[in-house]
Amino acid sequence: MKKLLFPVIALCFSVSFAQFEDDEWADFDYQHAGLSQVEFQNVKSSGMSKEKLLHLLEIGVRPGVYLQEPWKDLDVSEEEWLEQRASGMEDADIDRTYKNYSGNQGLAYLSFLVPSIYQWSVDDMVTAIAMDVSWVFAVGLTVFLLKSDKDGSNSGVQYGALCIGAVHVWSGVDALLATLWESNPTAKTFSWGIVPTGKKSFTAAAALRF
């Protein structure tokens, strides 16, 4: 009798667990939720809870998309992916945003110290070469002015130093704007306007929208 008792108890637990599992979806109308029968079966076979499914549908994520685990390809956590999708971002936007903040923006700030490093990293060869040529010219000009300074005033050297600084600023600002435009394409849009400042004078204004 004792030998039969354990299998009977185990069977009762199995039946109860299966009944509990079925009860979770007992009142769920998958068609009303906008799911196909195949999608619903995939959800159940994956072990996804009803609460999880309702959350995905609430933020506009199809269960089939979630089950593919796209956050792994984007190199972000599941929580970050769900948070960004809940805010209305698509996978391409998430990928672009995280890449900019994780890598490109760091290079953009570094470009203030090392001119053209960002431009070379994104294969913007024309701009990178122009910056390198300008930097070499500015350094050469500074050295020439320094050697030509006979009275020790260093007045000409200051202009050379300004040219070098201008190249550094050019590199950094160009890189920052590039990363900004990658993560926010609408930032490329300029609005021009002509505003009268007097009876016979006008001022042209440009606005950069973020």
Q: CA-CA distance, 178 to 172, in Å (whole number)?
A: 10
Closest listed residue to residue 107, CA positions, set 29, 179, 188 = 179
User: Whole-structure pTM over 0.75, yes or no?
Assistant: no
Residue 206: phi and psi, rounded to 5, are -125, 135
For residue 10, the model assigns a pLDDT of 45
From residue 176, how far is each of 47, 101, 109, 184, 203 by CA, in Å? Answer: 45, 11, 7, 12, 28
Report pLDDT digits (tens) over 116-126: 998 998 889 99
What is the rounded (10 degree) CA torsion for 83, 89, 90, 92?
Answer: -100
| Per-residue pLDDT band at 60 (split at 50, 70, 90) | confident
Q: Which helix (H) or strand (E) holds 110?
A: helix 105-110
For residue 30, the model assigns a pLDDT of 86
Report pLDDT digits (tens) over 143-154: 888 888 776 666
Q: CA-CA distance, 18 to 132, in Å (whole number)?
A: 70
Q: How remote is the C-alpha of 101 from its chain's centroid? A: 6
Q: CA-CA distance, 25 to 38, in Å (whole number)?
A: 15
Q: CA-CA distance, 128 to 116, in Å (whole number)?
A: 5
Between 183 and 51, whose confidence is greater?
51
